[in-house]
Amino acid sequence: MMKQFRTILKFELKDFFTDKKFVGFTLILALIIAVVMFFPRFSGSISISDEPVQDMNQDLPIMLVHSANEEHGEIVKQSFQTVFFGYKVTLYSGEASDLEEKVISGEAACAFAVSGLDSYTYYVNDLSMYDSNTAHANDAMSIYAMVQSGMTYEEAARILSGAVHQEIVTLGKDQTNNFFYTYIMIMVLYMAILLYGQMVASNVASEKSSRAMELLVTSAKPVSMMFGKVIASCLAGLTQLTVIFGTAFVSFNLNRYYWDDGGIMASIFDMPLELLLYMLLFFVLGFFIYAFMYGAIGSTVSKLEDIGTSVMPITILFVAAFIVVMMALSSGEVNTPLVKACSFIPFTSPMAMFVRIVMSTVPWYEILASVVILIASVIGVGYFAAKIYRMGVLLYGNKPGFGNIIKMLRKK
Amino acid sequence: MQLTLNQIDKSFGAKKVLRGISLSAEGGKAFGLLGRNGAGKTTTIRILMNVFSADKGEVLFDGKPIDYTKIKFGYLPEERGLYAKRKIFEQLVFFAELNGLSHGDAVASVNRWLVRFGMTEYANKRLDTLSKGNQQKIQMITALAHNPQIIVLDEPFSGLDPVNAMLLKAVVKEEIAKGKILFLSSHQMSYIEEFCDSIAILNGGQVVLTGDIYDIKRNYPRNRLVIRSTERDAILAKYQNACKLCEDGSLLLTLASPDEKQNVMKELSESFDLDEVKVFEPTLNDIFVEYTENAI
């Protein structure tokens, strides 16, 4: 039995590693990541060349400002220029009603009509979702008011920039730091399980439709076949991820110096080892539980065309888990009752518990409980999957419905 | 070596597929497994090979329950198919290893068989680049490479050209000569008659006839005579209802009892100009049709 398992594992792994598409895709992806990581090294040397800063001023978009109080025109312009260094701020001395037209015609990127110390109108063509100009304009208005009451622009700007000394003592997890790599890891977990899981399903189905199964079932035990296949694709997936992330890690560290603002980048690559191990654990367990189900479903299909509709329920289950986790992650509230519940349900816990561990402080016994439930479920699902597989591989013709599958499980 | 199936029952859901199948095959001989489509041949083979277990009954090897970890089977399924996209050598070694050979033995054995079947040049080709007949030879190697004690061949000769069929026949005869137990399932009765000493005819999940082919034929009522003659019409006129004209132009004369045989033959040879007269022996085909056309 062990020998059979090893033979199948070897055969399946060879299939992955001699597959030109698999190897090519992995290498190309690794190459692209390496290129991205090396990019700042070369693009950095270009921007260092000392171009006159003034020249760049001319390329800046134009922002028109208009003051209702004409005497304050220059102060308003200066106040806005202090805040908007991304724009070339120009004082418009015509009628305020002309501003609209100037923006529409594209003469100016945007315009502000200041009607008093505490009110203005903002003209812009398309208001972007991320437009922060009004927030900046509020600052500019404060500067305007402060200058008006006798301060210099520098003093006003310093007050506004709020050079307050702050210190954050994080007692639990630092969400801001962990967010990006959690995001990336969840995406990776999601894609890897979905991709490789479906690969297991179609591999089983193609063995069946090519009738290689006729010979396989007489030569090997279904459990060996199932485990050989699932573990082979798990190893192939891990290898692929290791190559891709390894390349990213090495090439980032070679170029760390050039990623000057590298806050996000550095936070991704400075991930604590502990979390990486958790990721590995949840990846493997999550992968197994889904790959077993995919394998079992694959065995009930006689034609490759049917595989899409047959695996749909599992895929939907998995996508739902993904959405719940993603929504929790982006709202930052990872300890809602829903996510907590999900972190113990075996089909959602690989992602949900992982997010909770990374983004909040989870008591050790909850982690242990979740992992134990997951491991027990992997064993259970593996056992039932092998049973379905055993019956499924010999069934041709109509694919069995859900009821028939349950019947198969109940039979010895 | 003797393999015995004893009173095997098998149902799938409410459908009874096998009902009390019993048969016995010996080493050094080929056993023909016959039956119409859906008669239960494949299910019998699968139970024999432990793909699933029987509901009732037992499989015995030399009188003891068979130990599947020791007894190896070689199987050529009727539905052929291997990994289309994998290299031939690779998958042959895979199946040989799966059936218990070490890697080294598997490589050596596969190489030997590739030479025997004249397929060495294809070893590193993908399976789907081969013609159907050549694919079948490759599939045949998966059944033989691990040197099994029991070989089950389901329609081994279909789709082969005469030269390849001869090659395969020679191989099958060699395997039988090595003392192995060979099960041969085919609808081509000529092959069964050529190879098999014993047969079992399955119909509706039951063995309707089993035994030595020669005995089966001998035990058929010997009350019919086949006559070839230039005076067909005269013979027909004389024996009237007892005699009928067959498709091949011969006459079949049915006697009231086998005891009359000598007298009638004498009478015929004295009265008519005969080319040939002999006792009718049914072909396997006749027997098969007789036992399977009605039931199920």
High-pLDDT (> 90) share of chain A, %? 14
Q: Are residues A349 and A252 in the same domain?
A: yes
A10 falls within a domain: no
> How many angstroms separate the CA atoms of B119 and B122, rounded?
6
Domain termination site, one of A137, A161, A185: A161
Please give the pLDDT value at position B62. 92
Answer whether residue A264 shows pLDDT above 70.
no
DSSP B241: G
Q: Are residues A144 and A249 in the same domain?
A: no
For A410, nearest residue in chain B (alpha carbons): B13
> How many angstroms separate the CA atoms of A105 and A95, rounded?
16
- Band (pLDDT 50/70/90 cuts) for residue A81 is confident
Question: How far is the CA of B163 from the CAs of A158, A195, B130, in angstroms?
Answer: 98, 47, 17
Please give the pLDDT value at position B107. 95
Answer whether residue B290 shows pLDDT above 80.
yes
Does B130 contact A at CB distance below 8 Å? no
Chain B residues in contact with A220 by the CB 8 A cut-off are 98
Please judge whether A207 and B90 are an interchain contact, meaning their C-beta atoms are less than 8 angstroms apart: no
Q: Are residues A128 and A192 in the same domain?
A: no
Chain A residues in contact with B84 by the CB 8 A cut-off are 210
For B140, nearest residue in chain A (alpha carbons): A215
Q: How close is the nearest chain A Cα to the Cα of B85, in Å?
A: 10
Rounded to a whole number of angstroms, the distance between the first and last alpha carbons of chain B is 33
Average confidence (pLDDT) over A147-175: 74
Please give the pLDDT value at position A239. 92
Q: Are residues A271 and A215 in the same domain?
A: yes
Please judge whether A219 and B84 are an interchain contact, meaning their C-beta atoms are less than 8 angstroms apart: no
Sign of CA dihedral A323, A327, A330, A334: negative
Per DSSP, the residues of A225-291 read: HHHHHHHHHHHHHHHHHHHHHHHHHHHHHHTGGG-TT-HHHHHHHT--HHHHHHHHHHHHHHHHHHH
Chain B residues in contact with A207 by the CB 8 A cut-off are 83
Answer whether residue A43 shows pLDDT above 80.
no
The count of structural domains within chain A is 2
Q: Are residues A148 and A268 in the same domain?
A: no
Taking alpha carbons only, the member of A75, A93, A90 closest to residue A141 is: A75
> How many angstroms separate the CA atoms of B296 and B291, rounded?
10
Q: Are residues A349 and A383 in the same domain?
A: yes
Please judge whether B81 and A211 are an interchain contact, meaning their C-beta atoms are less than 8 angstroms apart: yes
Q: Give me the residue label for tokens 């009509």.
A: A113
Q: Which of A210, A215, A390 sits opposite B75 (nearest CB)?
A: A215
For A217, nearest residue in chain B (alpha carbons): B51
For A235-255, give one letter per residue: b (16+ CB within 10 A) or e. Answer: bbbbebbebbbebbbebbeeb
Domain termination site, one of A104, A127, A161: A161
Q: Which residues contact A116 (CB under 8 A, 6 or more apart)?
A: A68, A69
Contact in structure between B72 and B147 (CB atoms under 8 Å): yes
A188 falls within a domain: yes
**3-state DSSP call for residue B75?**
strand
pTM for the model: 0.76
Residue A164: count other Cβ atoms within 10 Å of its Cβ.
5
Task: List for chain B the helix, strand, coil content (%; round to 5).
Answer: 40, 30, 30
Average confidence (pLDDT) over B214-231: 86
Contact in structure between B91 and B83 (CB atoms under 8 Å): yes
Does B84 contact A at CB distance below 8 Å? yes
Q: How close is the nearest chain A Cα to the Cα of B125, in Å?
A: 14
Please give the pLDDT value at position A31. 92
Average confidence (pLDDT) over B232-241: 85
Please give the pLDDT value at position A51. 45
Q: Which residues contact B177 (CB under 8 A, 6 or more apart)?
A: B28
Please judge whether A218 and B51 are an interchain contact, meaning their C-beta atoms are less than 8 angstroms apart: yes
Chain B residues in contact with A386 by the CB 8 A cut-off are none
Please judge whether B81 and A218 are an interchain contact, meaning their C-beta atoms are less than 8 angstroms apart: no
**3-state DSSP call for residue A305?**
helix
- Band (pLDDT 50/70/90 cuts) for residue A206 is confident
Answer whether residue B69 shows pLDDT above 60.
yes
Q: Which of A11, A15, A215 sits opposite B77 (nearest CB)?
A: A215
Please give the pLDDT value at position A154. 80
Domain termination site, one of A140, A161, A182: A161
A311 falls within a domain: yes
Q: Which residues contact A397 (CB under 8 A, 6 or more apart)?
A: A302
Does B183 contact A at CB distance below 8 Å? no
Taking alpha carbons only, the member of A193, A202, A190, A189 closest to residue A310 is: A202
Q: How close is the nearest chain A Cα to the Cα of B81, in Å?
A: 5
Q: Testing the interface with B: which of A1, A7, A213 to mutate, by most B Cβ within 10 A? A: A7
Q: Are residues A111 and A196 in the same domain?
A: no
Most confident of A1-15, A145-159, A267-281: A1-15
Q: Are residues A80 and A137 in the same domain?
A: yes
Please give the pLDDT value at position B120. 93
Does B56 contact A at CB distance below 8 Å? no
ipTM above 0.90, yes or no: no
Q: How close is the nearest chain A Cα to the Cα of B35, in Å?
A: 20
Answer whether residue A40 shows pLDDT above 90.
no
- Band (pLDDT 50/70/90 cuts) for residue B110 is very high
Contact in structure between B39 and B202 (CB atoms under 8 Å): yes
Most confident of A213-227, A298-312, B171-185: B171-185
Answer whether residue B129 shows pLDDT above 60.
yes
Q: How close is the nearest chain B Cα to the Cα of A127, in Å?
A: 55
Please give the pLDDT value at position A58. 61
Q: Which of B81, B90, B97 sits opposite A210 (nearest CB)?
A: B81
Does A215 contact B at CB distance below 8 Å? yes
Average confidence (pLDDT) over A89-105: 86
Virtual CA dihedral for A328, A334, A335, A340, nearest 10 degrees?
Answer: 70
Q: Give me the residue label for tokens 């190559």.
A: A243
Chain B residues in contact with A8 by the CB 8 A cut-off are 98
Does A210 contact B at CB distance below 8 Å? yes
A49 falls within a domain: no
Please give the pLDDT value at position B262. 86
Q: Are residues A131 and A239 in the same domain?
A: no
Q: How close is the nearest chain A Cα to the Cα of B199, in Å?
A: 23
A27 falls within a domain: no
Please judge whether A218 and B82 are an interchain contact, meaning their C-beta atoms are less than 8 angstroms apart: no
For A404, nearest residue in chain B (alpha carbons): B13
- Band (pLDDT 50/70/90 cuts) for residue B273 is confident
Does B239 contact A at CB distance below 8 Å? no
Q: Are residues A238 and A375 in the same domain?
A: yes
High-pLDDT (> 90) share of chain B, %? 48
Element (H, E) at A91: strand A88-91
Most confident of A102-111, A209-218, A223-232, B102-111: B102-111
- Domain holding A138: CATH number? 3.40.190
Task: List for chain A the helix, strand, coil content (%; round to 5).
Answer: 70, 5, 25
Q: How close is the nearest chain A Cα to the Cα of B212, in Å?
A: 28
DSSP A93: -
Question: Phi and psi for B66 in degrees, rounded to 5?
Answer: -70, 140
A376 falls within a domain: yes
- Band (pLDDT 50/70/90 cuts) for residue B241 is confident
Answer whether residue B63 shows pLDDT above 70.
yes
Answer whether residue A46 shows pLDDT above 70.
no
Please give the pLDDT value at position B21. 92
Selected residues 16-55 of chain B with any CB under 8 Å from a CB in chain A:
46, 49, 51-52
Q: How many CB pairs under 8 A join A and B?
A: 54
Q: How close is the nearest chain A Cα to the Cα of B160, in Å?
A: 19
Answer whether residue A265 shows pLDDT above 80.
no
Which range of residues forms the domain containing residue A119?
A: 57-161
DSSP A347: T
Measured CA angle at B119 (ends B116, B122), to 5 deg: 155
Selected residues 92-121 of chain B with any CB under 8 Å from a CB in chain A:
94-95, 97-100
Please give the pLDDT value at position B114. 95
For A216, nearest residue in chain B (alpha carbons): B95
Please give the pLDDT value at position A48. 45
Does B90 contact A at CB distance below 8 Å? yes
Q: How close is the nearest chain B Cα to the Cα of A199, in Å?
A: 16
Answer whether residue B196 shows pLDDT above 70.
yes
Higher pLDDT, A366 or A397: A366
Please judge whether A215 and B90 are an interchain contact, meaning their C-beta atoms are less than 8 angstroms apart: no
Q: Are residues A93 and A223 in the same domain?
A: no
Long-range (24+ apart) CB contacts under 8 A made by A307-311 are A307/A198, A307/A201, A307/A202, A307/A205, A310/A201, A310/A399, A311/A197, A311/A198, A311/A201
Residue A74: count other Cβ atoms within 10 Å of its Cβ.
11
For B102, nearest residue in chain A (alpha carbons): A3
Average confidence (pLDDT) over B261-288: 86
A212 falls within a domain: yes
Q: Are residues A229 and A356 in the same domain?
A: yes
Element (H, E) at B88: helix B88-98
